[in-house]
Amino acid sequence: MSEIIDMPKLSDTMTVGTLVKWNAKEGDKLTFGTIVCEVETDKATMEVQHTAADGVLLKQYVPEGTQLPVGAPIYAVGKAGETAPEAPGANPTPAAPTAPAKEPAAPATPSPSIPAPQPSFIPPSFPDNQTTTPTAVSDERIKASPLAKKIAAEKGVPLSGIAGTGPGGRIVKSDVLAAEGKAPAATSPVKTAPATSPAYIGPGIQEDKLTPISTIRGVIARRLLESKTSVPHFYLEIEVDAKPLADLRESLNIKLADLPPEKGGVKFTVNDLILRASAEALRRVPVVNNSWQADGIKQNGSVHLAFGVAIEDGLVTPVIRDAHGKTLRQIALEAKELIGKARKKKLTPNEMSGSTFTVTNLGMFGIDTFYGIINMPNAAILSVGATFKKPVVNERDEIVVGYCMKIGLSVDHRVVDGADGAKFLQALKEILETPALMLV
């Protein structure tokens, strides 16, 4: 007997999901554990396994790219040759249109993106004792886009007789081009400024289209907006001598990078060292590891470090749990594994939740200074910039080349006061400038 399989709830907060890929096609045999499809949830793209009775995939109720709620039918399973039942109440919403989306039309005017009858030139009416040539001054009073005015001036087309199709009757470029050649010859030339260069007509930097918002991108947008509008951010910054950190990383990688993993081989990144130093600084100033809750301020006993990873749909923040109790090697290996899973969209919801502090790094893009938006319910986010050279005065009062790094801290003022935020950055600076401290 056939059975309809519904969209499962793949995370605690999931209400809808987008079926991004079918791994099994109609007619395929399904057994327990078969990966039937992949669904993008509010946290990650996850595999949906077949957990019902063995059988044949009779029918796929929704195409790839469809967004539908938890509990909606997605496929039917049964015996070979059996007719698939009709799905009750199936009304899925495609997450992406099959054709490029069109701009919505402005009220009471035709949309430029929808073909419409071209407007005709309407000659203005003047008394017999006046010239029939409109002046440049009158054109300036007419509602028209700057580009339309420029093209009209170059081509000698008076704006006063053109019916605009833009928002609110505004004359746009296409209106002027449509009216060109239909206007009667003027009895005297229109006074215009000398033409500079013709308007550019050619390919743009990318295609004009509306891209549907993915489930992950939508969640990121909501969380960032909530954080920025509900959390009272304040910002601190400190400059660090990055030379000792760079020297330590270089010496460790010379010894370890070329060894196989079974012999202790590992290659450290700057971010690995920053994560380890952050965990140690939070041990010294634990108030920064706390979080705001509706009924009080939660004191977090463990450091669960989140760090930003850029993916196609935006930014995800996998979490290294109990980072305060892990070595630099353990943090580096775990971070590498999580980055790989993030880029393949294989992170589980558990691997992206429960953080107490977040580190984001744009130094690899050459950004010197920036401030991240707090990743709630964290009380702070650390923003790491690039290492850059500048003149500095050393301990012997000599001007030498310095290797500097600016580190910003965005802080939730409900949880952490300015003095505690400053103490945290001071502790972090000491650890980064004496990096052997993070190895003990």
167-218: pLDDT as tens digits: 777 788 888 888 876 644 444 444 555 556 677 777 888 888 888 888 888 8
Q: What is the CATH number of the domain that holds 283?
A: 3.30.559.10
Domain housing 393: 216-439
Give per-residue pLDDT as tens, 133-155.
Answer: 444 445 556 778 878 888 888 88
How open is the CA angle 31-60-19, to the nearest 5 degrees?
95
Residues 126 and 44 in one domain: no
Across residues 110-129, what is the average pLDDT?
42
How many structural domains are present in the chain? 3
Residues paired with residue 53 on neighbouring β-strands, in sequence order: none
Residue 100 belongs to some domain of the structure: no
Q: Considering the domain boundaries, does residue 203 fall inside one? A: no
Same domain for 154 and 66: no
25: in domain: yes
> What is the C-alpha separation between 27 and 21, in angstroms, rounded?
17
CA atoms within 13 A on the CB side of 240: 30
- My answer on whether 233 and 123 are in the same domain is no
Condensed to tens digits (0 to 9), the pLDDT of residues 381-425 reads 999 999 999 999 998 999 999 999 999 999 999 999 999 999 999
Same domain, 150 and 224: no
Neighbours of 61 (CB within 10 A): 21
| 397, 386 Cβ separation under 8 angstroms | no
Q: What is the mean pLDDT of residues 275-302?
A: 97
- C-beta of residue 292 within 8 angstroms of C-beta of residue 379: yes
Which pLDDT does position 218 carry in this prediction?
85
Rg over alpha carbons for the chain, rounded to the nearest Å, is: 31
In this structure, are residues 122 and 158 in contact, taking their beta carbons and an 8 Å threshold? no
Inside any domain, residue 206? no
pLDDT at 102 over 50: no
Whether residue 309 sits in one domain with residue 371: yes
Answer yes or no: is 209 within a domain.
no
**Paired sense of beta strands 357-361 and 380-393, if any:** parallel
Residue 192 CA from chain centroid, whole number = 46
Q: What is the pTM of this model?
A: 0.62
399 is a domain residue: yes
Q: Are residues 82 and 126 in the same domain?
A: no
Q: What is the CATH number of the domain that holds 16?
A: 2.40.50.100
Same structural domain, 236 and 329: yes
Catalytic (active site) residue 324: no
Residue 183 lies in a domain: yes
Residues 79, 113 share a domain: no
Is 398 part of a structural domain of the chain? yes
